Amino acid sequence: MTQGFSREGLKVAETQLVGQVAEGLAPGAVGLLDRGGETEVFTAGAMALGGPPMRRDSLFRVASMTKPVTAAAVMMLVEDGILALEEPVDRLLPELAQRQVLRRPDGPLEDTVPARRPITVEDLLTFRVGLGLLFAPSATPILQAVAELGIVGFGPPNPRMPFGPDEWLRRLSTLPLMSQPGEAWRYTTGSDVQGVLVARASGQPLDDFLRERIFEPLGMKDTGFHVPADKRDRLVTA
């Protein structure tokens, strides 16, 4: 037997959210509590500094929460028998076959050794692909090369990137790996590669696959990579 919320408990939760907004944690927020089939939603503050009041249906950027959504898409294709966790990505991502690996992540780009094994689908999911954030000075040769190539996946996203996923992967493939496949965890880049993999394995753009297989079945009618013009008044400040 499950129980819903007490009025006192809801008041405490709402008071905490309102108090944190008042202290400057954020211009505004939406709180949602769900228990025993009962759902309660409350809002606090504004959609932007000096902006309109926060709404129940305000739209928020989910940022890095895109990563588990993309990973779920990969696992759906594994369930469909289109991908296998242990298979090399070479079949669908030939750009990443026969990689060279830096002897040291901060070393010169020409100081490399061959990869000991191929990159697998599981490597992409576990962020052990050999590429990712490198917490080092920007003078590191590989980070300089990333900047010169204008590619994302090593820091904040850039929606204005002037080329698509295939060209992104081609540029990425000109770089050596920072570490051997499967040997080191490096944040974020694995998700970008997963996105290309899902598109090629499914035969449709990533956003179409996510919408048809995940968002629409779950009723996530406002989730996507872009906000339509008729919904932009609901988008909160970053």
* Catalytic residue set: 64
Burial 131-167 (b: 16+ CB within 10 A, else e): bbebeeeeebbbbeebeeeebbbbeeeeeeeeeebee
Q: Nearest 5°: phi and psi at 27?
A: -60, -35
Burial 50-59 (b: 16+ CB within 10 A, else e): eeeebeeebb
Angle between helices 165-172 and 189-202 (to 10 degrees): 130
Q: How many residues does the chain have?
A: 238
User: Residue 5 CB: number of other CB atoms within 10 A?
Assistant: 16
